[in-house]
Structure 1
Amino acid sequence: MRYPQYTPWMLKGYAISTVHLVDVDKVRHFIPSELNIISVLPGKTLCVVYVSHYGSGSVLEYSELIVIPALVSYEGKFGGWVSHIYVDNSDSVAGGREIWGLPKEMAEFTWEDNKCVTVRQSNRVLCSLDYKQQSLTWRQRLGGSAFSTMGNDLLMFGAEFESRLGLIGSRLEVPGESPFAGINLGQPFLTVRCEEMSLQIAAPQVVGQTNYDRITNRQEAKVAKE
Structure 2
Amino acid sequence: MNYPLAPWILRGYGFLTLHLVDVAQAEKYIPTDLEIVQVLPGKTIGGIVLGKYEPGSTLTYGELIVVPALVRQGGNIGAWISHIYVDDLNSIAGGHKIWGLPKEEAQFVWQSNGGAMVKQGDRILCDFMPTWQFNLWRQRGQFGTYSSLEQLARFESEAIANLSLISARLDIPASSPFAHMIRTQPWLALRAESLELTVAAPKRVG
Same fold (TM over 0.5): yes
* Corresponding residue for residue 4 of structure 1: 4
State the secondary structure of the residue aligned to 2:55. Answer: coil
Structure 2 distance, partners of 1:47, 1:145, is 14
Q: How many residues align?
A: 206
Q: Which 10-residue stretch deviates more, 160-169 or 124-133? A: 124-133
TM-score (norm 2): 0.97
| One of 153, 156, 159 as aligned partner of 2:154 | 156
What per-residue deviation string (whole Å, max 9, x for no partner) do you get for residues 182-206 of structure 1? 2143100000000000000001001
- Is the CA contact (8 Å cut-off) linking 1:115 and 1:132 kept in structure 2? no
Deviates more, 1:174-183 or 1:101-110: 174-183
- Structure 2, unpaired ranges of 5+: none
2:82 corresponds to: 83
Percent of paired sites with the same residue: 47
- Taking the TM superposition and a 5 Å limit, the aligned residue runs for 1:117-132 are 117-132=116-131
What is the deviation of 1:158? Answer: 0.2
CA distance in 2, matches of 1:183, 1:136: 30
TM-score, with length taken from structure 1 = 0.89
| Counterpart position of 1:180 | 178
Partner SS for 2:205: strand
Match of 1:200 in 2: 198
* Structure 2 letter corresponding to 1:84: H
| In 1: Cα distance, 2:119 partner to 2:64 partner | 11
- Corresponding letter in the other structure for 1:180: F
Deviation at 1:113, TM superposition (A): 1.4
> CA offset at residue 132 of structure 1?
2.2
Match of 1:23 in 2: 22
Structure with more helix by fraction: 1
Superposed CA RMSD: 1.0
Q: Distance in 1 between matches of 2:168 and 2:130?
A: 4
- Secondary structure class of the residue paired with 1:182: coil
Structure 1 distance, partners of 2:139, 2:191, is 12
CA distance in structure 2 between the partners assigned to 1:179 and 1:118 by the alignment = 15
Give CA deviations for 1:66-117 in whole Å, capped at 9, x if unaligned: 0011000112221000110000000000001000000000000001112421
What is aligned with 2:142?
Answer: 143
| Structure 1 unmatched runs, 5+ | 209-226
